[in-house]
Structure formats: structure tokens, C-alpha cells
């Protein structure tokens, strides 16, 4: 499977871009829910695995479940097993490899009510 390293790199780059965004939470913050722009809302790790892009990447063997769960755990600063998920317009038609499988992810403690 020669595409697996590329998808893993793409996922990690997406996670890194999200981590660099201003306003990320520290581990001591409680959950405030998702900011209005996160159109897919709060998702548990199990729910994230069932999202269409994630499920397609898993079904095609492009990435392992363990890799995705590890990436989600990186962003779950309050360790409650919930992240906020956003489907980014344009990623589904992007010319970038694997963009169709990606979502914007932040911790559910990233924004105040």
C-alpha cells in the first residue's frame, strides 16, 4: 500500500494546522462545546470513525484506525474522548491528494460559551 504514508502525512498536516490555530485549549479547561463554525459538532472518537471521509479512508486501507485515534487524542486536550469536527468547504474538490478524507478537528474545550 504505497498511499498509506501519504495519507498519514496528510492527516498529520491537517491536525498540525488545526493545532496552530489561535485559541486552543489547555488541559485544565472544561468542555464548552463547539464553536458555531464546526458544522459536524461534537463527535466521540467512535463517531469520528464513522464519518464518510474517515470511513472511506479506513475501508480503502489508506490509514489505520489506530493512527486516526492517535491523531484525535492529540487534539483532545481535556481527555474526555470528544472533539469538534468541521467539514471544510473545498476540501472535497481540492486537487491535493487525500483532502477528501480530511476534517478540521479541535478540542471541545477550545472555545468559551
Write out the DSSP string of 8-70. Answer: HHHHHHHHHHHHTSTTPPPTT-------TT-TTEEEEHHHHHTSHHHHHHHHTTSS-HHHHHH
Cell numbers linked to 84: 469538534
Domains of the chain: which residue ranges? Answer: 4-19+38-107
Segment 21-52, tens digit of pLDDT:
554 444 455 556 788 888 888 999 999 999 99
Flag whether the pTM goes above 0.75.
no
Lowest mean pLDDT among 2-11, 31-40, 48-57: 2-11
Amino acid at each position: 500500500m504505497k498511499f498509506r504514508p501519504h495519507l498519514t502525512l496528510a492527516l498529520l498536516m491537517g491536525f498540525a494546522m488545526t493545532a496552530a490555530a489561535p485559541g486552543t485549549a489547555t488541559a485544565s479547561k472544561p468542555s464548552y462545546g463547539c464553536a458555531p463554525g464546526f458544522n459536524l459538532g461534537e463527535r466521540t472518537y467512535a463517531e469520528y470513525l464513522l464519518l464518510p471521509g474517515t470511513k472511506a479512508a479506513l475501508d480503502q486501507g489508506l490509514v489505520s484506525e489506530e493512527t486516526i485515534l492517535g491523531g484525535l487524542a492529540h487534539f483532545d486536550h481535556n481527555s474526555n474522548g470528544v472533539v469538534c469536527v468541521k467539514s471544510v468547504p473545498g476540501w472535497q474538490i481540492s486537487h491535493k491528494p487525500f483532502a477528501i478524507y480530511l476534517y478540521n478537528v479541535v478540542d471541545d474545550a477550545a472555545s468559551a460559551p
